[in-house]
Structure 1
Amino acid sequence: MMHPQRLLFRLCPTLLLLFISLAGSAQDTLPAFSAEIKSKNRIIISWTNPYGTKIKQLSIQRSRDSSRLFKTIISIPDPTVLKNGFVDQNLPDTNFYYRVYIMLDGGDYAFSQVRKARSLPPPPKHEPVTRKPEPPAKVEPIKQEPVQKPKPVEPEKPKLPLPQPEKYLVIKKGDEIVGELNERFLQRFRDSVSMRTKDTILLTSRDTLLIKPFQPKEVYGVSKYVFIDKAGLVHIELPWYARRKYIVKFFEEDRSPLFEIKEVRDAVLLLDKANFMQAGWYLFEIYEDGKLLEKNKLFVGKDF
């Protein structure tokens, strides 16, 4: 493994100049970052990204100790944003240390220096600027318009009976209204309305149709593209990586986004368990040239 400092200077030769120019700002330039205490249980982690789209993963890790027992608390969904941050809140206190895990193109990675959260001094107070009173606005006199004579009232014409409007049924999908349907076209769907088959339309009242799509139960098998070995490393093996573009997305078990690899450039890509915040099931999706290649899940054990 390449030394972190040599890796960062090889990938970004102007990093030292960027760090000196931004040292006085609230957001430090990666691999440096700021950890500012905002209240007794809230800390803001912020940074500036000098790597552009070369950065593929950025994870924030936290520890009570300044040298060990670091755990990943979040992997940023889009690490390529120029200026970004994360609010670590609902903490018992603010006595924590932080560091940042950075992974770039080709699988090279590095950890930042450890930084303890600290409070910044309050900004200087500015005296209010007093303004001179403005002169009162001139009021223009109201012009009186000439009085118009009322127009003679014409007798009302007899009203013809209005044609009966066509009746429309409301189409709902769950609690959302998605459209309307003329009552004359309801006969086309009489099978799904009367027989209550697996079709998508149910008649819930005299003027409301409910769409209930049939959703088959998802079945998962063993993936030949994403799996975990005995050493605890997650393998991503895509043999056609040189000819096709692959995107790999990881999700929590409740389908909330975890992190994303936007481009795979190696036949075998290894991920450390530190990218997964805890043991359990994780969902993933593999896209090949924009099309879904596989949708599956992966179990990460407790032996971190």
Structure 2
Amino acid sequence: MRPILRSLAILTGLLVCFTAFSQSLLPDFAARELTRGKIQISWNNPYRNCVQLAIQRSLDSSKNFRTIFSSQSPELASNGYVDNRPVPGVKNFYRIFYSLEGGSYFFTRAIAVEASSVVKSLPVDLPAVTPSIPPIKEKLITPALTAAEKKNLTSIYLQKNILFRFDKAGYARFKDSINTKTKDKLRRLNERSVEWIPVNKEVYYIYKGQQIVAELTKKSFLQWKDSIKYKTQDTLYALDAYHSQIRSYAPPPKAYVFIYRNDSLLQVLETALYRKFKDSVANKTKDTLYASDEQHVEIRPFVPRYVWKPSDYIFTNNKGYVTILLPLVKQHRYAVIFYEEDGSELFRIKNLKEQELILDKTDFVHAGWFYFELFEDDRLMEKNKFFLPR
């Protein structure tokens, strides 16, 4: 009985250890489609020393990732972000980039989320004049009920395309708007499908969000379209031939550059500020900036090259003898200590009284480099070296 209990205890311990080691050390990260055309990314961050946290997106699972969001509070334990502009109809891959104090950084695994195609929606309150689009032939419009229509949603078709879907109350308001404000017709195709047949008038409608901001003739629309293209950074998105949506330009998220020195993080700068910093280093210092990639730069301080200059007071003369020259020997007290090249003391002269003193080579035992310290009134005056030839 005891061997069996011992074996069970060992097996339980191994199972606990395996479970502990199998848990991921990386931050928890999830991505899902929140609503049609909106992807929610949420995370739990265990690192309180996180200095940057950025969400990146790509259409490839391993390359071409681009930053779409950079957190203003990367140290928060839990946070989230909604991507309002995923690429519809394909898999969008998301990952999170973390950078910690001290310079370490890493990426999470990539998670794939397929964004649904966005249903192009128009407001319920339609204008009195509607687009000029030929009626749809009845034989072409016999759609079967879709999954959405089975959920009590009525689909509105225009030229075989679904413009929007309404619940019961929304469709009632839409129908009332069409009947009271336009001369258009609505034709029932099946229980949950309705064809919108506009009157034949050529008017172009411009939307911002779901609000109409302009109703233009063809000539005015073409002129306005050119002005948007050449004078702004906004985007004009065609919902159909007569309905367009203007989308304001959204600047890309701020990018950051990490400045290091000897593997220590010195600064984190926005790209615009980094350009000024880079120019300042180039114009005002002799330091070098070495970029390992677009976001990580190492600053290498300038180290001047050492150039030895012989002393004016202790040197070897043209005959190879060590000479001590002290022009102010009568006004000050001088002393000198000589050292071997390894730093060990060779000998010292405590009180120099002659203006010029020549030392014998035998005092230094051998040829080579020697160091000295010259003192004036017990204060270090000079520290240098000289070479004694054979």
Task: Tell me which structure has the larger Cα radius of gyration.
Answer: 2
Instruction: Give TM-score scaled by structure 2 length.
Output: 0.26
Considering fraction of residues, name the structure with more strand.
2
TM-score normalised by the chain length of structure 1: 0.33
